[in-house]
C-alpha cells in the first residue's frame, strides 16, 4: 500500500472519531488538556484597561454577541427591577423558535403572563399590547416584533448603565480579553482533506481547546499573490455576516506558508455532487427537495443583500450541505460590498454559464444578478431538460420560474420580494411556504510555484488578513462546548467559587 493512501485512511478514521466526539456528549473528553488550560479568564486587573475601548454598544454587546447577551441577561435576572423584562424577552425568543403547531398556545401563555395584567411591563406601548391581544391566535413569525423593539429600547435606556457598573460587565471584559488573544495553527488539529480550491486545500480540523470541528481553508501565500485582494474580501465578507445559511468564519490567521480561514464545517458535500453524482442515471431533485434548498439559498442571498453584499458566484458547487442536510452558501471570494450611497457596480465576475447578462455586457448591475444565478442553479436542481421523461415534476412551473429568474432585463427579473409576476407559479408558492417555515472553475493540479518573493507590502497584507478570532462565532463555540459555563468558577479576586450567582 502506498504511504499516501495509508495516511489518508489514518487521517480519516481519526476524523471520524473526532466527529463522533462533538456530535455526542463527550465533546469535552476529546479536548487537548494543554490547550484547554490556556483558555483561562485573566485577572481582572489585566483586562480592566479594556473598559473604555471594548465593544460596548447596546445592540452589539447585549443583543448580538452570545456571551455579552448571556451576561446581560444574568444581570437583569439578578435585579428585581428588570427580572420580568428579562423573562418576557426570553419568552419572546422562545416563541420565535417554537414549532408552528404550538405557537398559538405559547402566545396565549405570554399574553396571560405579561399582557393581560401589564403590571410589570409598562414599557409596552398600548398599541402593541392591543394588537397582540387581538392577533395572538394567528400564527405569525413577527407577532412580538414591535414589543421586542420596545422592550430592548427600554432595557437600553434603563438597564444598560446598571449593567456597565456591575460585575457582569467586568466578566464580559474578561471574555473579550480572552477572545482577543492571538491563536495560531498549533491550536488546530488537521484531519482529512474536504476539498480543493484554486489556492489550496480545505481540511477538516478540530479546535484543540474546545473540541469543536471546523473546516480550515488554507490559501497558499505564493499561489495567491496576484489575487490576494480576493482573500481579504472573502475574509471581511465572511466575518461580517452571521446567518444559518452562510458558512461562518470563526478564525483567520496565518502560517509561514498559508493564510487560513477556519469556518463552519459542511460534511455533506456540495449540491453539484448531489445533483449529478449521487444517482448518475437520474440527476436532479424532486420538487420538495429543490424547494427546500432554494428557500435556504434565498435566505442566504437575502442576508448578504441586507449587508449590501452581492454574492456573484451562486452555483450548485458553492452550496454546501451539513450532516443534517441543511445548506449554506460558501466561497465568498467573488462577493462585492456596495459602498454607502452606491447602488450599482461593474465588472465581469462570476462563473461562465451562470453569470447574468449585465456583467458580461460590461453594464452596471446590482443585487438582481444573484437571482439570475439562482435561476440557473434551480434549473440544474430540477433538471428541466431531463425531467420530461423521467419525472412527474410540474414541468411548466419549474421552467417558468427559471425563466422568470433568468430574465435578461434585470428590471423584469423575478426577485422574490417585490415581484408580483411570480405569484401564479405553484413551485414559487412552495418555495415561499418553505421560506415561511424557516423563520428556518478550479485551477486544477497544484504546481509548486517558484520565484515568488514575499516583500514588506505582502506582510502588511498578511497582517490585515490575520485578524484572529471572530467575536460571534468564537463566543458561540465557548458556549456550545461548555467552556463558558466552566469559566464561571472564576471571580475577579482569584480562583474562588463564583459569587455572582445567587
Ligand atoms: P475556492 O475559492 O478556491 O474555489 P472553495 O471555498 O470553493 O475554494 O473550497 C474548495 C472546496 O473545499 C469546495 O469545493 C468544497 O469541496 C471544500 N470546502 C470549502 N469550504 C468548506 C467547508 N466549510 N466545509 C466543508 N468543505 C468545504
Ligand atoms: Mg469554489
Ligand atoms: Mg473562491
Query: pLDDT > 90: what percent of the chain?
Result: 54
- Residue 26: helix, strand or coil by DSSP? coil
What residues form DSSP beta bridges with 195? 202
Complex-level ipTM beyond the 0.90 threshold: yes
For 19-32, write each residue's pLDDT tens digit.
Answer: 654 444 455 667 89
Produce one character per residue of 14-45: b if its CB has 16 or more CB atoms within 10 Å, e if not: bbeebbebbeeeebeebbbeebbeebebbebe
Smallest CA separation from ligand 1 atom 25, residue: 266
- Starting from the CA of residue 246, give the closest ligand: 1
Q: How far is CA 480 from the centre of its chain?
A: 15
Query: pLDDT: is 469 or 288 the higher one?
Result: 469
Centroid of ligand 3 to alpha carbon of 129 (angstroms): 48
Ligand 1 atom closest to 202 (CA):
12
What residues form DSSP beta bridges with 202? 195, 217
pLDDT at residue 500 above 50?
Answer: no
Residue of 15, 191, 193, 194 to mutate, ligand 1, most atoms within 8 A of C-beta:
194
Residue of 19, 193, 195 to mutate, ligand 1, most atoms within 8 A of C-beta:
195
Produce one character per residue of 113-136: b if its CB has 16 or more CB atoms within 10 Å, e if not: ebbeeeebbebbeeebbeebeeeb
Query: pLDDT > 70: what percent of the chain?
Result: 81
Distance CA 278, CA 388 (A): 20
HSE-CB at 271 with a 13 A cutoff on CA atoms is 30
Report pLDDT for 494: 45
Report pLDDT for 8: 61
Residue 285 exposed, middle or buried by CB count within 10 Å (0-12, 13-18, 19+) = buried
Centroid of ligand 1 to alpha carbon of 196 (angstroms): 6
Smallest CA separation from ligand 1 atom 8, residue: 197
pLDDT at residue 329 above 90?
Answer: yes
**Ligand 1 pocket list (CB less than 6 A):** 194-199, 202, 215, 217, 247, 263-266, 270, 317, 320, 330-331, 333
- Starting from the CA of residue 247, give the closest ligand: 1
Smallest CA separation from ligand 1 atom 13, residue: 195
- Starting from the CA of residue 265, give the closest ligand: 1
Residue of 15, 193, 200, 202 to mutate, ligand 1, most atoms within 8 A of C-beta:
202
Sequence-distant (≥ 6) Cβ neighbours of residue 19 within 8 angstroms: 204, 213, 267
Task: Specify the range with the lowest mean pLDDT, choosing from 168-182, 339-353, 436-450.
Answer: 436-450
Alpha helices in 26-144 (DSSP H): 33-36, 44-47, 66-78, 83-97, 100-110, 126-135
> Is the distance from CB of 205 to CB of 190 less than 8 angstroms?
yes
Model confidence, pTM: 0.85
For 435-455, write each residue's pLDDT tens digit.
Answer: 776 653 222 223 334 445 556
Residue 269 exposed, middle or buried by CB count within 10 Å (0-12, 13-18, 19+) = middle
Centroid of ligand 3 to alpha carbon of 407 (angstroms): 26
pLDDT at residue 394 above 60?
Answer: no
Residue of 19, 320, 442, 445 to mutate, ligand 1, most atoms within 8 A of C-beta:
320
Q: Per-residue pLDDT averaged across 39-59, rounded?
A: 93
Which is it for the CA torsion 330, 211, 470, 189, positive or negative? Answer: negative
Banded model confidence at residue 293, pLDDT cuts 50, 70, 90: very high
For 253-282, write each residue's pLDDT tens digit.
Answer: 999 999 999 999 999 999 999 999 888 888
Q: How far is CA 121 from the centre of its chain?
A: 33
Residue 380: closest CA among 405, 359, 357, 416: 405
Q: Per-residue pLDDT averaged across 151-175, rounded?
A: 95
Ligand 1 atom closest to 267 (CA):
25
Report pLDDT for 475: 97
Distance CA 127, CA 115 (A): 12
Distance CA 252, CA 66 (A): 20
Average model confidence (pLDDT) for the chain?
A: 84
Centroid of ligand 3 to alpha carbon of 365 (angstroms): 21
Centroid of ligand 1 to alpha carbon of 289 (angstroms): 22
pLDDT at residue 94 above 70?
Answer: yes
Q: Which residues surround ligand 2, an ion (CB under 5 A)?
A: 331
Sequence-distant (≥ 6) Cβ neighbours of residue 136 within 8 angstroms: 104, 107, 108, 110, 111, 143
Sequence-distant (≥ 6) Cβ neighbours of residue 356 within 8 angstroms: 350, 365, 368, 369, 372, 373, 410
Task: Specify the range with the lowest mean pLDDT, choosing from 66-75, 349-358, 368-377.
Answer: 349-358
Beta strands 249-254 and 468-469, pairing class: antiparallel
Positions marked catalytic: 313
Task: Specify the range with the lowest mean pLDDT, choosing from 129-133, 172-176, 377-381, 388-392.
Answer: 388-392
The edge-to-edge listing of strands for the beta sheet with 258-263 is: 188-197, 200-207, 213-220, 258-263, 249-254, 468-469
Report pLDDT for 315: 96
pLDDT at residue 433 above 80?
Answer: no
Neighbours of 338 (CB within 10 A): 16
Smallest CA separation from ligand 1 atom 23, residue: 265
> Is the distance from CB of 393 to CB of 286 less than 8 angstroms?
yes
Residue 420 C-alpha cell reads as 408580483
Centroid of ligand 3 to alpha carbon of 198 (angstroms): 7
> Is the distance from CB of 235 to CB of 244 less than 8 angstroms?
no
- Residue 469: helix, strand or coil by DSSP? strand
Centroid of ligand 2 to alpha carbon of 318 (angstroms): 6
Smallest CA separation from ligand 1 atom 6, residue: 331
Ligand 1 atom closest to 269 (CA):
16
- Starting from the CA of residue 329, give the closest ligand: 1
Report pLDDT for 118: 62
Amino acid at each position: 500500500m502506498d504511504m499516501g493512501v495509508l495516511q489518508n485512511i489514518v487521517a480519516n478514521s481519526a476524523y471520524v472519531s473526532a466527529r463522533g466526539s462533538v456530535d455526542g456528549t463527550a465533546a469535552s473528553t476529546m479536548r487537548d488538556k494543554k490547550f484547554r488550560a490556556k483558555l483561562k479568564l485573566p485577572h481582572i486587573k489585566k483586562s480592566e484597561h479594556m473598559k473604555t475601548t471594548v465593544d460596548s454598544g447596546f445592540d452589539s454587546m447585549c443583543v448580538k454577541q452570545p456571551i455579552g447577551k448571556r451576561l446581560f441577561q444574568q444581570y437583569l435576572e439578578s435585579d428585581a427591577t428588570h427580572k420580568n423584562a428579562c423573562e418576557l424577552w426570553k419568552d419572546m425568543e422562545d416563541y420565535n423558535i417554537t414549532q408552528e403547531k404550538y405557537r398559538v398556545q405559547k402566545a396565549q401563555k405570554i399574553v396571560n403572563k405579561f399582557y393581560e395584567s401589564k403590571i410589570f411591563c409598562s414599557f409596552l406601548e398600548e398599541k402593541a399590547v392591543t394588537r397582540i391581544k387581538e392577533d395572538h391566535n394567528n400564527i405569525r413569525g413577527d407577532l412580538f416584533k414591535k414589543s421586542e423593539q420596545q422592550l430592548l429600547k427600554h432595557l437600553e435606556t434603563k438597564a444598560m448603565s446598571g449593567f456597565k457598573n456591575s460585575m457582569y460587565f467586568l466578566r464580559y471584559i474578561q471574555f473579550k480579553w480572552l477572545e482577543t488573544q492571538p491563536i495560531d495553527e498549533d491550536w488546530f488539529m488537521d484531519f482529512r482533506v474536504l476539498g480543493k480550491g484554486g489556492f489550496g486545500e480545505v481540511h477538516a480540523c478540530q479546535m484543540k481547546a474546545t473540541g469543536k470541528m471546523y473546516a480550515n481553508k488554507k490559501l497558499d501565500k505564493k499561489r495567491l499573490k496576484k489575487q490576494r485582494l480576493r482573500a481579504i474580501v472573502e475574509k471581511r465578507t465572511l466575518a461580517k455576516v452571521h446567518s444559518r445559511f452562510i458558512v461562518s468564519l470563526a478564525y483567520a490567521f496565518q502560517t509561514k506558508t498559508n493564510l487560513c480561514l477556519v469556518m463552519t464545517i459542511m460534511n455533506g458535500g456540495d449540491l453539484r455532487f448531489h445533483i449529478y453524482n449521487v444517482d448518475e442515471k437520474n440527476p436532479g431533485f424532486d420538487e420538495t427537495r429543490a424547494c427546500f434548498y432554494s428557500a435556504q439559498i434565498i435566505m442566504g442571498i437575502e442576508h448578504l443583500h441586507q449587508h449590501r453584499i452581492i454574492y456573484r458566484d451562486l452555483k450548485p458547487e458553492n452550496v454546501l450541505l451539513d450532516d443534517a442536510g441543511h445548506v449554506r452558501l460558501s466561497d465568498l471570494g467573488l462577493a462585492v460590498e456596495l459602498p454607502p450611497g452606491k447602488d450599482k457596480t461593474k465588472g465581469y465576475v462570476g462563473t461562465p454559464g451562470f453569470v447574468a447578462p449585465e456583467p458580461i455586457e460590461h453594464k452596471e448591475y446590482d443585487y438582481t444578478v444573484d437571482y439570475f444565478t439562482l435561476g440557473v442553479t434551480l434549473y440544474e436542481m430540477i433538471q428541466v431538460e431531463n425531467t420530461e421523461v423521467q419525472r412527474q415534476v410540474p414541468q411548466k412551473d419549474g421552467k417558468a420560474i427559471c425563466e422568470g429568474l433568468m430574465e435578461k432585463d434585470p428590471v423584469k427579473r423575478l426577485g422574490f420580494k417585490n415581484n408580483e409576476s411570480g405569484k401564479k407559479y405553484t413551485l414559487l408558492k412552495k418555495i415561499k411556504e418553505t421560506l415561511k417555515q424557516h423563520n428556518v472553475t478550479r485551477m486544477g493540479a497544484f504546481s509548486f510555484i517558484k520565484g515568488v518573493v514575499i516583500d514588506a507590502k505582502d506582510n502588511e497584507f498578511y497582517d490585515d488578513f490575520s485578524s484572529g478570532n471572530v467575536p460571534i462565532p468564537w463566543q458561540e463555540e465557548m458556549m456550545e462546548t461548555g467552556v463558558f459555563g466552566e469559566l464561571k468558577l472564576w471571580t475577579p479576586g482569584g480562583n474562588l467559587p463564583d459569587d455572582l450567582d445567587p
